Amino acid sequence: MPKDSGIGASPKRREDVRFLTGAGNYTDDINVAGQAYVHFLRSDVAHARIKGIDTSAAAGMPGVVKIFTGADFEGVGGLPCGWQVTDRHGEPMQEPPHPILAQGKVRHVGDPIAAVVADTYEQARDAAEAIEVDLEELPAIVDMKAALADGAPKLHDDLTSNLCYDWVLGETDDAVVQKAFDEADHVTTLELTNQRLVANPMEPRVAVGEYKRGTDEYTLYTTSQNPHVIRLLMCAFVLGLPEHKVRVVAPDVGGGFGTKIFHYAEEAFCTFAAKACNRPVKWTASRTEAFMSDAQGRDHVTKIELAMDKDNNFTALRTNTLANMGAYLSTFSSSVPTWLHGTLMAGNYKTPCIQVNVKAVFTSTVPVDAYRGAGRPEATFQIERVIDKAARERGVDPIKLRRQNFITEFPYDTPVALTYDTGDYNGTMDKLEAAADIAGFAARRAESEKNGKLRGLGINCYIEACGIAPSNIVGMLGARAGLYDAATVRVNATGSISVMVGAHSHGQGHETAFPQVVAEMIGIDESQVEIVHGDTSKIPFGMGTYGSRSLAVCGSAMVRATEKVINKAKKIAAHLMEASEADIELKDGMFSVAGTDKSVAWGDVTLTAYVPHNFPLEEIEPGLEETAFYDPANFTYPAGAYACEVEVDPETGKVTIERFAAADDFGNIINPMIVDGQVHGGIGQGIGQALLEGCVYDENGQLLSGSYMDYAMPRADDVPFYTVDHSSQTPCTHNPLGVKGCGEAGAIGSPPAVVNAVIDALQSGGKNVTHIDMPLSPGRVWAAMNG
């Protein structure tokens, strides 16, 4: 019987009522009396030296309040990078400054040169057109290999080269790795690109800065996934402001997908300019600006080699990746190709020897940072593509080859620094085989062939590491932040509860799922529990939402705080019933004394806490409010198996996805409907990457895919109905809910399944195609078939 409330139930998402009826409160809905508007004059060339900026004509234009250039930010800090990677020689990565407005040089199309604050947005834009910028164009640096060549033009004059770091994980001794390859019975090699993507949340970025002269207090409203992180970075590294004087509010946020984690120049600018202009300053990105200023995702070029013995056991894996950082180091950019990618290269398999090498490269393009999955899709794509190729070369069934090499005993220490606590990859694969009706594929293929279409089946397995932690380990690995989270459970006198959480919901459904947990723990109705998030003046210092961490990390803090509340409430109940605290039981919102018929309701206890007429004041304080900070012992390890079936039109190269099945192990599940939705959305995004999306620069560093006319987002008719199965559940062993995180799985697991399916289809049509780089657009598939 499915439950109708509490943990495991699927109540409809309460926040959707306001989202779907136009009652959401997004940052652009926030208007502060007297606000001015800023327009950023952005570079239209990829790389140039700024020889002069003349703002004199613009300054006199109607409505102009003030014009800022890089010179106004001398003495102000730059945007920091939150993760210092140490290279293979023990040296820190090269870390160039990232000014709020360009100083000396522009380094990508979209780099802000000047900012015009004016009474209206159109006036700011008019004045920006009157600014004269004298640029000496320099060679664009687009191709990563060329950027690393001897004598290549340098993007940052003060660095020794365009190399950010050269990093190794796993077996560091090249000779040991080479020996494993020399001894192999078979080696499969694959060169591939994980193309650059634009995150494209539906809501573009917005910032409103406000300054109160009377109290010297700042408020920044911003489209962020983590308001406390923004406040910390902006105060401590950029503007040098005391945190207690700065409030950061991230109200309803219309999707983030990673790109709203980072601290951006426009946020610091609006906060800074609000004081400088003594007026609130608002900025709303156009979609065009979003394409050239939101941190982008992926962009890895990789060579991967898999060694096998004569029985097809994996014996070694070696992978060499060039990772594009773009022009500057965005907040968590350096960690994505390293600790979020290299550590995942074991996948679901017990390969004993693994070496991962990543060279991160500066290019004159928009910075690259975490995007749904962040490093894990790049790892999964390589592993699962090379396994698929190996299966074909060895003539073995791709499911069998995977099963044979699965990790089956837990905990499992991988050769690339992780300890998987739990999992059941064979069990999950069993679920997939049933959900996908793998047995019926041959008949479906025959049917497609009758219609002149090639049909393919693609399998993929993934493991991901979510809820990145614990803080002491990530600190050793270079993180300049802790990765705990926090929750305050505030019980009101009449028994309703506000839970202030450090996680931030920007579409995930926390406002529905989190109360299910608290309500179940106490035994009250979910409607009595409300989540408060997104405002540093209301919530405890939390780290926000990304990396599928919210429930596993912040939810655990919430459980701990709720336990503290229950413990205190039991003390009060014991006092009220004149019983021993040890005998108090809480069930369905009633406290009772074991073995008696004495009971007292939740509401009586909460009222007593705040109206302490009859209260053990000498033993406990009045009130009922507790906070917990939770720092996990390990990552969580969701894993799954996906199957995609495609049809390819052999004449046009057009791929259509006919079936898609997903079997995921997310451990325990709080709200199955929300989990289904997260997986659906993730698969849709992964299909977008596999078939449609691609951010392309020409050799001059101009964005060829700078609008929706050329950047293809997945639409409803590009995706099939999904079959999802979450019944394979091995609960996380180290957090109180046994949950693992489900937000990124779909985006990680689906691209290789789609590509594997297309290759299978082409091979079935007698085409000797072993790889096509994403997106598998009709033109590319046709070219591969006719190559």
Partner 1 sequence: MYNFEFEKPGSIADAVAALGSEDAMPLGGGQTLIPAMKQRLNAPSKLVSLSGIAEMKGVCVRDDGALSIGGATPHAVVAAEAGAHYPALAGLASHIGDPAVRNRGTIGGSLANNDPAACYPSAALGSGATIVTNNREIAADDYFQGMFTTALEEGEIIVEVRFPIPEKANYQKFVQPASRFALTGVFVAKYADGVRVAVTGASEEGVFRWSEAEAALSSDFSASAVDGLSVSPDGMIGDIHGTPAYRASLIKTLTKRAVAAAA
- Structure tokens belonging to residue 114: 């000047």
Question: Which spans of this chain sit near partner 1 (rule: CB under 8 A)?
Answer: 122, 125, 129, 288, 651-654, 691-692, 694, 696, 704-705, 708-713, 775, 777-779, 782-783, 786
Amino acid at 282: K
- Report in angstroms how near the CB of residue 270 gets to partner 1 at its nearest: 23
Smallest CA-to-CA distance from 759 within 334, 101, 11, 190 is with 190
User: What residues contact residue 32 under an 8 Å CB cut-off, 6+ apart?
Assistant: 208, 210, 280, 282
CB of 678 to partner 1, least distance (A): 25
Which CB atom, from 362 or from 711, has the smaller least distance to partner 1?
Answer: 711
Quote the least distance from Cβ 201 to partner 1, whole Å.
Answer: 18
* Rounded least distance, CB 652 to partner 1, Å: 6
Question: CB of residue 80 vs partner 1: minimum separation in angstroms?
Answer: 34
Report the DSSP pairing between strands 112-118 and 64-69.
antiparallel
Alpha carbons 523 and 521: distance in angstroms, whole number: 6
Instruction: Give the span between the Cα atoms of 522 and 563, in whole angstroms.
Output: 9
- Nearest approach, Cβ of 602 to partner 1 (angstroms)? 52
172's CB contacts (< 8 A; 6+ apart) are 88, 355
Closest distance to partner 1 from the beta carbon of 717 (Å): 10
CA dist., res. 595 & res. 15, Å (int): 42
- The helix or strand, by DSSP H or E, that contains position 602, with its residue range, turns out to be helix 602-610
Minimum distance, C-beta of residue 705 to partner 1, in the bound complex (Å)? 7
Nearer to partner 1, 93 or 142 (CB): 142
Q: Which is nearer to partner 1, 283 or 349 (CB)?
A: 283
| Cβ at position 785, least distance to partner 1 in Å | 10
Report angle CA 357, 359, 363 to the nearest 5 degrees.
Answer: 160
Half-sphere exposure of 347 (CA within 13 A, CB side): 30
Q: Which is nearer to partner 1, 116 or 390 (CB)?
A: 116
Please state whether 298 falls in left (phi above 0), alpha (psi between -120 and 50) or beta: left
What single-letter amino acid sits at 616?
A: P
Contact residues for 371 (Cβ-Cβ < 8 A; gap 6+)? 197, 199, 257, 258, 259, 295, 296, 297, 298
- The least distance separating partner 1 from the CB of residue 203, rounded to whole angstroms, comes to 19
Beta-bridged to residue 229, according to DSSP, are none
Please name the helix (run of DSSP H) or strand (run of DSSP E) that holds residue 231, with its range, or none.
helix 227-233
Closest to partner 1 by CB, 120 or 472: 120
Tell me whether residue 122 or residue 581 sits nearer to partner 1 (CB atom): 122
Which CB atom, from 411 or from 779, has the smaller least distance to partner 1? 779
**Spatial contact of 295 and 108, defined as CB atoms under 8 Å apart:** no
Instruction: Map tokens 């560093």 to a residue.
Output: 701
How many helices (H) does the chain have, and how many strands (E)? Answer: 19, 28
**Cβ of residue 3: shortest distance to partner 1, in angstroms?**
41
Minimum distance of partner 1 from residue 66's CB (angstroms): 23
* Helix ranges restricted to H, 311-396: 376-394
Cα distance between residue 45 and residue 54, in whole Å: 18
- DSSP code, position 712: -
Smaller CB distance to partner 1: residue 189 or 652?
A: 652
Nearer to partner 1, 195 or 678 (CB): 195
Alpha-carbon torsion 117, 120, 121, 123, what sign? Answer: negative
Nearer to partner 1, 62 or 475 (CB): 62
Cβ nearer to partner 1, comparing 446 with 783? 783
Q: With the C-alpha atoms ordered 394, 399, 402, 406, is the resulting torsion angle positive or negative?
A: negative
Q: How far apart are CA 259 and CA 342, in angstroms?
A: 21
Using the minimum distance from each CB to partner 1, give the nearer residue, 590 or 713. 713
